[in-house]
């Protein structure tokens, strides 16, 4: 092997001889030196910012209400110390039916400014009895310090915590400490309300952008320019004859030269990424060992392009041709990838079925973009209904289904849904008799979390503030408005809902809400806290049980612990609840005691998308973002997921009755299978539209066989963010569409491509006469 | 000294043919046409021929750089191109190009390692070889500062680095000054004396004439001659050119066939005469008769007995006269 190591070393020596390399190393050094003074401090979180306000309008209302509260309450203390002008301003906004956005925004700004002034007061809550203050563990600790011993920062932090806990529904809980970036010890902007974990996540995100936009494209391009001459120079007449006369094998000579070029890039990548890793660890205390995985990934990315450069160098023996061929290869890859990704984003993903609703004799499907369609048995097609696309004006690739529901109201043979548009949520219904034609029943509360039909036939709606029963629509309460020749139906407002929740109902932090299909109890989950509300004899709901699923008594009260408690999806049936959190942990929880009966982790750290349960609770399911459905048979106490066909492609699933599962595993297709055997009993599949056929039968096969070096960024992202998927829309809900990160297929594809290119070059060099 | 196990030839070429393809369907060019010869250990063998005769093609086939289309060729007992054969061969190509990032020393280390040597072994030999080729003290210099002649010297050094049994040199004195050529000749003679085979490909016939034991002459891919220098330039038969001073009558008495072509005003004006002669004895007798007639012999030169003469006679002139075939 000695001769080949000598060739690798010579390639490296040749690259070292290049001035471009030294320029590159100098630039990397300057970049790293510029980063070195970057550091951060962690002051206590004191100041409020606009991001802390959850809902400005609701906040103003509650602030005004605080003015009428008990004078010994912290809310009153806060309100009373606001300036008169601000009090007047927020009162006006609270009273206005439709306050303009600008005035709400201006009020929020003023509130934030005055709150920031309030936190500096030492005697802000001096007159408030301690038991009126909703203290958490952090504020208790701060209060335990004698007033004279408390620093100004600690005082301000205490005030901040009391204020945010006094308005828990309206203000985001803040981490105890913020992050203030500094450069040469000087602050860079204001402190960021990030906990240690969040700061690390933010750094990883910045790294991801840096890799994607700078390190990968610029680094690889420069590396290609520097190394492009290595192979063509090998074939210089006076050089190649001498080399070929030596007792070495030609293909190995070529491969040694090739790997010599890669070795050179590996050193550069190691210098850049290793330096970055050390600086981030040393200065920002973000020791992120997975960052080092980027070194081989960057080198591999370069190697993929370098195979093209090398093959071109072998065939044409010309550096310029090698560079041109590489750029053309990149352009073709980019073109094919763009055509595939654009069609996938515009045509395919938005039209994948994400919800299936059996509606009497009909079967309804909802797509990723919110289009509702009913299965037409006669034409074997999905026919658009319920207004078709509900996201008018929004591009299809937004992948945002704003519908809550639809749910089937059997008693009235209709489907009901809430369309949560920005600023104006609407309650919609569609009668089965009228082929589910969409009808607006009126406005719906913002922040609707769940909509379902109770066993007694009541239509229940749960939002962040209440559980409400939707009253039958009184047509007399509606009025039509003619404007510019168009007729608008002014639906009933809040009057159409009857609040039946207890006074202390608070679902402001709920991320999952379920309504039991048999007893109508309402389950809310948020911040680790699971609550069950049951109906009393008067038809109102009351809290029956509450428990922290993470078994920490104080967790729900502690802001920091809340940030640790994972988001989850939930479903309920029979005597159990299925709760799957964002860490991929599934819990089967007793409905009565709210104690965890069993836990499962079929896909560690993978986020779930939907949870489902049969009414009787004999089967539970959790659909994950990897499109695999975890299916559990309670009777057999067994995971029966493997009995289902199409795992890995499932986008929607719903139980139908107690022994049937309906799911979609393909575009335009919904299959029904019997349980527990998973045997397919029916299929509803429409033929694909022409453009979809073009995608599946032309574009996708080309894309599949074509190398995808650009997709290696997904591999890097996978290692950087340690997740298998990324959010595809602005929603951070678990049920929102995700871009699945496939770290290994790009590696496999690229490795295969490299093998083919290198084998081609080796054969050429072996049999070509020079 | 190379201890050769036998006197078996270091190169055997037997009916070697090479046809280059021109384009995909092109008929091609015949570069070698049934060439046969051998090279023995301890001899300097030169391959001569005009441009395009197929000399470099033949070397490339021997080294496995290109493939033959017919016949056989072997190197040190192995088929041409075999790695075991190439292991024991030192090669200096024509128009040698050593990458510009090398110094003389790193180049020797690189090529030495390609020949299977360790870095340490190269270092041990490098200084002596650089001194031998006249590059002592220049080992740390980048080759981009080297003249063509210095590159040739470095190329020769790398060819000798691993003590090869056979040295193939393609135009080794190309770009060298007379002193350099003389040094190279000395090195070649030393290699011959050590029992190594030297295969030389050169245009410089005088150089070849001075050091080579045997030559082969190629023309348009066909072997015109292979043999010793004596066989190529025999001291029998030919023409002798004389420069004489004497009266026209006296000259005509000795050489009756000679006719004065112009009026000679002065008997001291030299006269050039070319005569056929069988051998030196016949020439000696003629000179005796000229002296008896008081004719001075200013100079005498045998025609057709230098390598150049023989070469030109064999390959003919530019009109394509095939000359004389020698088997």
Structural domains for chain A: 2-35+196-345+703-767 (no CATH), 50-174 (no CATH), 377-685 (2.130.10.10)
> Which residue is associated with the tokens 């910012």?
A49
Mutation choice for A interface testing from B22, B68, B99, B146 by most A CBs within 10 A: B99
Q: Do B65 and A249 touch (CB under 8 A)?
A: no
Helices A101-118, A56-66: axis angle to 10 degrees equals 60
Q: How confident is the model at residue B322 (pLDDT cuts 50, 70, 90)?
A: very low
Which pLDDT does position A350 carry in this prediction? 82
Which residues of B are less than 8 Å from A243 in CB distance?
A: 114
B153 touches chain A (CB under 8 A): no
Q: Rounded to the nearest 5°, which phi and psi values hold at A585?
A: -90, 125
Helix (H, G, I), strand (E, B) or coil at B182: helix
Per-residue pLDDT at A428 exceeds 70 = yes
Q: What distance in Å separates the CA atoms of residue A575 and residue B96, rounded to the nearest whole number?
A: 87
Domain with CATH 3.30.70 in chain B: 239-303
Looking at chain B, the domain(s) classified CATH 3.40.50.300 span 11-88+164-231
* Interchain contact, B96 vs A236, CB within 8 Å: no
Alpha-carbon distance B251 to nearest alpha carbon in chain A (angstroms): 59
Answer yes or no: are the C-beta atoms of A611 and A622 closer than 8 Å: yes
Mean pLDDT score of chain B: 85
Q: Which residues of B touch A17 (CB under 8 A)?
A: 100-101
Strand partners of residue A438: A430
Distance (Å, whole) CA A640 – CA A655? 14
Among chain A residues, the shortest Cα distance to B98 is held by A239
Is A714 within 8 Å of A743 (Cβ atoms)?
Answer: yes
Segment A250-265, tens digit of pLDDT? 999 999 989 988 988 8
> In sequence order, what are the residues at sequence separation of 6 or more whose Cβ sits closer than 8 angstroms to the Cβ of residue B59?
B47, B91, B168, B170, B199, B201
What angle do helix axes A2-16 and B104-114 make, rounded to 10 degrees?
150
Instruction: Give A95-125 pLDDT, tens digit per residue.
Output: 887 778 888 889 999 999 999 999 988 877 7
Of A5, A17, A240, the CB nearest to B101: A17
* Three-state secondary structure call for residue A700: helix
Residue A171 DSSP class: B
| Cα(A154)–Cα(A526) distance, integer angstroms | 29
Give yes or no for B199 touching A (CB within 8 A).
Answer: no
Beta-bridged to residue A171, according to DSSP, are A53
B114 SS3 class:
helix
Given an 8 Å threshold on Cβ–Cβ distance, is B106 in contact with A13? Answer: yes
Rounded CA separation B103/A716 (Å): 40
The pairing of strands B166-170 and B89-92 is: parallel
Nearest to B250 by CA among B267, B270, B275, B233: B267
Cβ <8 Å between B94 and A238: yes
In tens, the pLDDT along A50-66 reads: 888 877 888 888 888 88
pLDDT tens digits, residue range A473-483?
554 455 555 55
Note whether B60 contacts A: Cβ–Cβ < 8 A.
Answer: yes
Cβ pair B60:A241 closer than 8 A: yes
Distance from CA of B283 to the nearest CA of A (A): 51
Subunit contact B101:A2, Cβ cutoff 8 A: no
CATH match of B239-303 with 3.30.70: yes
pLDDT at A321 over 60: yes
Residue A485, phi-psi category: left (phi > 0), alpha (psi -120 to 50), beta (remainder)? left
Contacts of B60 in chain A (CB under 8 A): 241
pLDDT at A472: 65
- Give A238 to chain B, closest Cα distance, Å: 4
Q: Which of A16, A233, A238 sits opposite B95 (nearest CB)?
A: A238
Residues A693-718: tens digit of each pLDDT: 999 999 988 888 778 777 777 777 77
| Range from A359-368, A407-416, B76-85, B227-236 carrying the lowest mean pLDDT | B227-236
Please, which residues bridge with residue B56 across strands? Answer: none
Chain A residue with Cα closest to B103: A13
Q: Which residues have C-beta within 8 Å of that of residue B320, sequence separation ≥ 6?
A: none
Asked whether the beta carbons of B270 and B244 are under 8 A apart, the reply is yes
Distance CA B306, CA B316 (A): 15
The reply to whether residue A236 touches residue B106, judged by beta carbons under 8 angstroms, is no
pLDDT the model gives residue B68: 92
For the domain spanning B11-88+164-231, the CATH number is 3.40.50.300
Residue from B65, B107, B142, B201 to probe the interface with A (highest A Cβ count within 10 Å):
B65
Q: What angle do CA A467, A468, A471 make, to 5 degrees?
A: 165
Rounded CA-CA distance B217/B55 in Å is 9
Tokens at A721, concatenated: 């963010």
Instruction: Check CB contact under 8 Å for A241 and B65.
Output: yes
Separation between Cα atoms, residue A271 and residue A16, nearest integer Å: 14
**A676 preceded by cis ω (within 30°)?**
yes
Question: Does B8 have pLDDT greater than 90?
Answer: no
Q: Is the pLDDT of residue A740 over 70?
A: no
Alpha-carbon distance of A301 to A262, in angstroms, equals 10
In Å, how far are A77, B49, B177 from B205, measured between CA atoms?
Answer: 113, 10, 16
**DSSP sequence for B29-94:** EEEEEEEEEEE-TT-EEEEE--TTSSHHHHHHHHHTSS--SEEEEEETTEETT-HHHHHTEEEE-T
B316 CB-near residues (< 8 Å, 6+ apart): B219, B322, B323
CB proximity list for A452: less than 8 A, separation 6 or greater: A407, A459, A460, A515, A517
pLDDT for B325 equals 37
Say what angle helices A19-35 and A250-284 make with each other, to 10 degrees: 20
Q: Is B65 on the interface with A (CB under 8 A)?
A: yes
Q: What is the pLDDT of residue A553?
A: 43
Q: How far apart are CA B89 and CA A188, in angstroms?
A: 69
Interface test with B, best of A246, A249, A264 (most B CBs within 10 A): A246
CA distances from A54 to A51, A67, A117, A174, A720 (A): 7, 20, 20, 12, 30
Write out the residues of chain A at the interface with chain B, using a CB-CB cutoff of 8 A: 2-3, 5-7, 10, 13-14, 16-17, 233, 236-249, 769-770
CB A740 within 8 A of CB A625: yes
* pLDDT class of B305 with cuts at 50, 70, 90: low
Contact status of B67 with chain A (Cβ, < 8 Å): yes
Q: Min CA distance, B34 vs chain A (Å)?
A: 20
3-state DSSP call for residue A55?
coil
> Are B63 and A238 a contacting pair at CB < 8 A?
no
Q: What is the predicted pLDDT for the residue at A484?
A: 52
Indicate the pLDDT class of residue A203, thresholds 50, 70 and 90.
confident
DSSP character for A471? P
Residue of B84, B114, B155 lying closest to A248 (CB–CB)? B114
Q: Is the dihedral of CA B221, B222, B224, B227 positive or negative?
A: positive
Give all strands of the β-sheet with A424-431 in edge-to-edge order. Answer: A403-409, A414-421, A424-431, A437-444
Tokens matching residue A430: 């569609």
CB contact under 8 A, B99 and A245: no
Strands B222-228 and B239-245: unpaired
Chain A with chain B: Cβ pairs closer than 8 A = 78
Distance from CA of A646 to the nearest CA of B (A): 51
Which residues on chain A are in Cβ contact (under 8 Å) with B66?
769-770
- Strands B214-219 vs B44-48: parallel, antiparallel or unpaired: parallel
pLDDT, tens digit, for every residue of B184-197?
Answer: 889 999 999 999 99
- Eight-state DSSP code of residue A194: -
Token pair in block for residue A722: 């340690």
* Cβ-defined contact of B86 to A247 (cutoff 8 Å): yes
Could you tell me which residues come within 8 angstroms of residue A186 by beta carbon, excluding any fewer than 6 positions away?
A: none
């Amino acid at each position: 092997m000695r001769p080949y190591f000598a060739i690798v070393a010579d390639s490296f020596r040749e690259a070292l001889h290049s001035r471009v390399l030294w320029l590159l190393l100098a630039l990397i050094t300057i970049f790293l030196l510029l980063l070195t003074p970057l550091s951060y401090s962690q002051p206590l979180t004191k100041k409020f910012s606009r991001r802390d306000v959850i809902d400005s309008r609701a906040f103003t209302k509650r602030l005004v209400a605080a003015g009428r509260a008990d004078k010994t309450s912290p809310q009153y203390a806060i309100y009373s110390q606001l300036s008169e002008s601000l009090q007047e301003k927020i009162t006006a906004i609270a009273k206005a039916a439709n306050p303009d956005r600008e005035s709400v925004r201006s009020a929020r700004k003023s509130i934030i400014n005055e709150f920031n002034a309030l936190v500096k007061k030492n005697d802000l809550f001096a007159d408030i009895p301690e038991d009126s203050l909703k203290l958490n563990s952090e504020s208790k600790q701060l209060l335990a310090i004698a007033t004279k011993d408390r620093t100004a920062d600690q005082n301000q932090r205490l005030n901040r915590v009391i204020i945010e806990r006094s308005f828990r529904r309206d203000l985001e809980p803040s981490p105890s400490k913020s992050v203030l970036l500094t450069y040469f010890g000087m602050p860079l902007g204001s402190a960021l309300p990030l906990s240690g974990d969040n700061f690390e996540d933010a750094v990883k995100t910045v790294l991801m952008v840096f890799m994607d936009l700078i390190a990968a494209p610029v680094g690889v391009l420069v590396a290609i320019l520097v190394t492009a001459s290595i192979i063509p120079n090998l074939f210089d007449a006076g050089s190649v004859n001498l080399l070929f006369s030596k007792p070495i094998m030609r293909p190995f000579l070529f491969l040694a030269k090739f790997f010599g070029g890669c070795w050179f890039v590996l050193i550069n990548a190691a210098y850049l990424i290793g330096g970055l890793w050390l600086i981030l660890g040393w200065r920002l205390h973000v020791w992120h060992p997975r960052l080092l995985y980027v070194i081989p990934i960057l080198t591999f990315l370069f190697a993929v392009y370098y195979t093209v450069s090398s093959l071109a160098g072998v065939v044409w023996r010309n550096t310029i041709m090698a560079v041109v061929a590489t750029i053309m290869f990149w352009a073709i890859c980019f073109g094919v990838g763009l055509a595939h990704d654009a069609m996938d984003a515009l045509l395919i993903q938005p039209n994948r079925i994400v919800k299936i609703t059996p509606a009497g004799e009909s079967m309804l499907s909802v797509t990723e973009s919110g289009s509702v369609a009913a299965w037409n048995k006669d034409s074997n097609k999905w026919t658009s209904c319920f207004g078709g696309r509900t996201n008018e004006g929004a591009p299809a690739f937004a992948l945002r289904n704003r519908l809550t529901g639809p749910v089937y109201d059997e008693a009235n043979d209709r489907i009901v849904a809430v369309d949560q548009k920005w600023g104006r949520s609407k309650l919609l219904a569609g009668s089965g008799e009228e082929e589910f034609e969409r009808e607006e029943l009126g406005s719906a509360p913002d922040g609707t979390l769940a909509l379902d039909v109770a066993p007694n036939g009541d239509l229940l709606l749960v939002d962040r503030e209440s559980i409400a029963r939707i009253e039958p629509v009184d047509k007399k309460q509606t009025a039509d408005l003619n404007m510019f020749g168009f007729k608008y139906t002014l639906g009933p407002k809040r009057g159409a809902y009857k609040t039946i929740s207890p006074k202390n109902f608070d679902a402001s932090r709920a991320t999952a809400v379920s309504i039991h299909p048999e007893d109508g109890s309402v389950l809310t989950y948020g911040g680790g806290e699971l609550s069950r509300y049951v109906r009393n004899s008067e038809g109102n709901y009351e809290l029956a049980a509450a428990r922290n699923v993470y078994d920490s008594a104080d967790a729900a009260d502690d802001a920091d612990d809340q940030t640790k408690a994972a988001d989850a999806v939930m479903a309920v049936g029979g005597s159990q609840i299925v709760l799957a959190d964002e860490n991929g942990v599934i819990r089967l929880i007793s409905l009565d005691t709210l104690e965890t009966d069993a836990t499962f982790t079929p896909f560690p750290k993978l986020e779930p998308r939907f949870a489902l349960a049969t009414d009787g609770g004999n089967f539970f399911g959790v659909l994950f973002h990897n499109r695999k459905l975890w299916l559990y048979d309670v009777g057999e106490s067994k995971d029966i997921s493997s009995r289902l066909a199409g795992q890995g492609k499932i986008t929607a699933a719903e139980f139908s009755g107690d022994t049937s599962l309906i799911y979609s595993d393909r575009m335009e297709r919904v299959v029904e299978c019997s349980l527990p055997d998973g045997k397919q009993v029916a299929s509803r599949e429409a033929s694909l539209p022409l453009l979809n056929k073009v995608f599946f039968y032309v574009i996708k096969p080309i894309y599949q066989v074509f190398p995808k070096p650009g997709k290696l960024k997904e591999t890097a992202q996978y290692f950087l963010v340690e997740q298998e998927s990324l959010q595809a829309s602005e929603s951070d809900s678990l049920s929102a569409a995700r871009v699945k990160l496939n770290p290994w297929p790009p590696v496999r594809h690229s490795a295969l491509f490299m093998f083919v290119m290198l084998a081609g070059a080796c054969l050429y060099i072996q049999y070509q006469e020079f | 000294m190379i201890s050769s196990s036998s006197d078996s030839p270091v190169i055997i070429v037997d009916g070697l043919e090479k046809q280059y393809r021109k384009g995909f369907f092109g008929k091609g060019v015949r570069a070698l046409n049934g060439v046969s010869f051998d090279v023995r250990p301890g001899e300097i063998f030169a391959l001569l021929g005009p441009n395009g005769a197929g000399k470099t093609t033949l070397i490339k086939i021997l080294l496995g750089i290109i493939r033959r289309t017919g016949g056989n060729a072997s190197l040190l007992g192995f088929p041409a191109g075999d790695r075991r054969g190439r292991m024991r061969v030192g090669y200096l190509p024509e128009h040698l190009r050593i990458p510009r990032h090398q110094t003389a020393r790193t180049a020797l280390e690189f090529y030495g390692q390609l020949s299977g040597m360790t870095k340490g072994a190269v270092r041990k030999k490098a200084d002596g070889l650089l001194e031998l080729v006249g590059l002592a003290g220049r080992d740390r210099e980048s080759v981009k500062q080297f003249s063509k002649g210095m590159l040739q010297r470095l190329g020769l050094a790398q060819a000798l680095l691993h003590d090869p049994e056979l040295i193939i040199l393609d135009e080794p004195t190309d770009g060298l000054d007379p002193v350099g050529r003389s040094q190279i000749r000395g090195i070649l003679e030393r290699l011959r004396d050590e029992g190594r085979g030297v295969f030389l490909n050169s245009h410089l016939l005088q150089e070849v004439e001075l050091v080579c034991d045997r030559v082969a002459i190629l023309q348009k891919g066909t072997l015109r001659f292979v043999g010793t220098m004596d066989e190529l330039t025999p001291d029998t038969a030919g023409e002798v050119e004389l420069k004489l001073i004497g009266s026209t009558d006296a000259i005509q008495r000795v050489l009756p066939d000679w006719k004065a072509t112009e009026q000679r005003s002065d008997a001291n004006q030299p006269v050039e005469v070319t005569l056929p002669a069988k051998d030196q004895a016949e020439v000696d007798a003629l000179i005796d008769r000229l002296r008896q007639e008081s004719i001075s012999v200013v100079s005498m030169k045998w025609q057709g007995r230098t390598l150049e003469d023989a070469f030109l006679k064999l390959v003919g002139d530019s009109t394509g006269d095939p000359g004389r075939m020698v088997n």
